[in-house]
Every structure is written in C-alpha cells, then in structure tokens.
Amino acid sequence: MTATYQLSHLGALESEAMYIFREVAATFERPVLLFSGGKDSVVMLHLARKAFWPAKLPFPVMHVDTGHNFPEVMEFRDETVSELDVRLVVASVQASIDAGRVVDEPGVSRNRLQTTTLLDAIGEHRFDAAFGGARRDEEKARAKERVFSFRDEFGQWDPKNQRPELWNLYNGRHRPGEHIRVFPLSNWTELDIWRYIDAESIELPPLYYAHHRRVVRRDNMLMSLCEWIQPAEGEEVLEAMVRYRTVGDATCTAAVESAATTAAEVIVEVAATRITERGATRADDRFSEAAMEDRKKEGYF
C-alpha cells in the first residue's frame, strides 16, 4: 500500500476477479467452477478462495474428464479439492461415449467431444453459471468474448449478438435452460498468470516445471509418450528436459524444452518466448485459422 493509493497491475486484476466471483455468487442460484488442474483453473480457484474467505467456496467445482489425463494432474486435482473441502463433480467424456452421445475416433483427440459432455453436465446439474479460466490474450476468438458470456439453451455462443458490457455492471439475466459462462481471468495474460503464481506461491501440478520425460517430435511439437501416444514408424524417442505451458488432454498437449524449475524461472522463459502458448503446445488449435471460433460457437469452454 502506497501513499498514492494505486494498486499494482496484479492487484487490480486480482480485485477485478474477486469482484466477478462475488457478483456471480450473489446473483446466480447454481454456479460451478470448471477445474481441470491446469494453471489457469488453479489460479481461478485460488482467487475464488480469496473472494469468499473465511467462508468456504459457495459452489462446487467440475472437471470435464476426457479420460486421457496426465496422472500427476489427477493427483493434484484430488488433493486440491480435499484440502479446500469443496465438492468435485466429474463429467466423463468416456461416459458420454459409452452412452452413445458422442463417437470416439481412435487416434483423434477427445478435445472436441468435451463440449457435449460439458453441456450435458450443465443441464443435468442445472448449473446456471460456469466459471471458466479462458483469457482474452489466448486467441482471437477469445479477444471478443464478454466476461459474462451468454449461452442459449443449446449452449451456443453467438459472437455477433453479444450483450454490451459497460463499466463493471454485468448482466447475468437468463431464462431457465440458458446459462452464463463467466471468465474472471479475461484480462490476464500468460505472463500475469505466472507472475501471480510466483507472487502468491500457488502450487501447480509438477509437470509445469522442467523435468525429464520421454517424448517424440511430432509436427514440430514434443509429445509425451503415454498409453495413447506411441512412437510411429520412423519417429525417434527422445529423452528431453521439458515442461508444459498448458495442460489439457494428454493426446493433444505438447511439452516445450525448458530448464525452468521454479515459477520465477518460468517467468524469465515466458517473457523471452516468441511463440504463443496455444501455437506452441496445442495441436487442436492449429488445424484451422478459425478452430477455436468454431468450437466456441458449439459451446466449448
């Protein structure tokens, strides 16, 4: 606190996010926080905790589980929810496949299938607001997303017909069956997230920091070997020092070479990096110019 009464930029972003959490808790009946164990959702959960302290979170968290997980992330997820004493809802893509709601194509990422599972779970639990960790700096379709993003009864986003959002007066009104996606981290950048993780000593799944891993180089990305990723003919298995910039479905999230073992070291790398985090590590965003835009319209995160 200084005599100029000016918050730091992280302080301003934190305060804005806490304000958004409290607005939703005060005006919605059944909110849920989407929690994957990825760094953005971990930061989001930390901010939610701050917003309601010393009370517990007034809503559950939900993981949309593709079944293709990094074991370290699942372990982290379970430890976190038990420590915070918060209810975890797991929405399973495998269950959607078994029920015939979606068709799993072998060798293809389950990323897109998550949309059906997510929307089914929102309907089943009658959630009226879902907090997501998306940031506007991630991608150009996200750059135009509102903080309170209205979804119709089919869960769809209509980018051409969004509600104007003025000052900090968020309009969350909706009819039964419709819902609002809420993005408290809208104005954060990747570097802000890391600076905040460092400043607040927020714990992350270990694969966000440099570690040894067996990988193959595929489409110029380092994919970790696991149950679902095996070397194809002619692919060489490398032992590399890597970390993850994003953590999603294990079949479509790549690692980057890194020596950073602390948040402070990651910040140095992120500040120097010249490639966006989605461009570097997400096979799913590279298949078309408008990949994210199309998935978002269908109701994706």
Partner 1 sequence: MELLRFATAGSVDDGKSTLIGRLLFDSKAIFEDQLEAVERASLQRGEETNLALLVDGLRAEREQGITIDVAYRYFATPARSFVIADTPGHVQYTRNMVTGASTADLALILIDARNGIVEQSRRHAFLASLLQVPHLVVCVNKMDLVDYDQGVFDAIVAEFRTFAMRLEVSDLSFVPVSALVGDNVVHRSAAMPWYEGSSLLHHLESVHIASDRNLIDVRFPVQYVIRPRDDSHHDYRGYAGQMAGGVLKPGDDVVVLPSGWPTKVKAIETFDGPVGEAFAPMSVTVRLDDDLDVSRGDLICRPHNRPHAGQDIEAMVCWLHPAPLRVGGRYTIQHTSRSARAVVKDLAYRLDVNTLHRDEAAHELTLNEIGRLSLRTTVPLFYDEYRRNRATGSFILVDEATNATVAGGMMLDPSQVTG
CB of 91 within 8 A of CB of 116? no
Q: What six digits make up the tokens of 111?
A: 């990323």
State the residues that interact with partner 1 by CB under 8 A. 1, 4-9, 11-16, 18-19, 22-23, 25-26, 49-56, 136-137, 140-141, 143-144, 159-160, 162-169, 171, 173-175, 186-187, 189, 191-192, 273-276, 279-280, 289-290, 293
At its nearest, how many Å lie between partner 1 and the CB of residue 159? 6
Q: By C-beta, is 160 or 212 nearer to partner 1?
A: 160
Q: By C-beta, is 68 or 282 nearer to partner 1?
A: 282
Write the Ramachandran bin of 218: left for phi over 0, alpha for psi from -120 to 50, otherwise beta: beta
> Pick from 243, 248, 136: which is nearest to 192 by CA?
136
CA pair distance 229, 60, nearest whole angstrom: 33
At its nearest, how many Å lie between partner 1 and the CB of residue 27? 8
Q: By C-beta, is 174 or 218 nearer to partner 1?
A: 174
At its nearest, how many Å lie between partner 1 and the CB of residue 41? 18
Q: By C-beta, is 293 or 298 nearer to partner 1?
A: 293
CA pair distance 171, 169, nearest whole angstrom: 7
Is residue 218 packed enough to be buried (19+ CB in 10 Å), middle (13-18) or exposed (0-12)? Answer: middle
At its nearest, how many Å lie between partner 1 and the CB of residue 26? 5
Q: By C-beta, is 168 or 230 nearer to partner 1?
A: 168
- H or E stretch at 189: none
